[in-house]
Amino acid sequence: MKLYFKSGACSLSPHIVLRELGLPFELEAVDTKAQKTKSGADFTAINPKKYVPTLQLDDGQVLTEGAVIVQYLADRKPDAMLAPPAGSMDRYRLQEWLNYTASELHKSFGPIFRAPEDQRPALREGLTPKFDYLAKHLDKRQYLMGDRFTVADAYLFTVLNWTNYLGIDLGRWPALKSYLQRVAARPAVRAAMEAEGLLRG
pLDDT digits (tens, 9 = 90+) for 162-201: 999 998 999 999 999 999 999 999 999 999 999 999 986 4
Residues 178 and 125 placed together within one structural domain of the fold: yes
Q: Are residues 149 and 118 in the same domain?
A: yes
* Chain segment 25-83, per-residue pLDDT in tens: 999 999 999 999 999 999 999 999 999 999 999 999 999 999 999 999 999 999 999 99
Give the separation between CA 186 and CA 153, rounded to whole angstroms.
11
Is 18 contained in some domain?
Answer: yes
Same domain, 31 and 58: yes
Q: Which domain holds residue 17?
A: 2-80+190-195
94 and 175 share one domain: yes
21 and 69 share one domain: yes
| pLDDT given at position 149 | 98
Question: Does one domain contain both 141 and 179?
Answer: yes
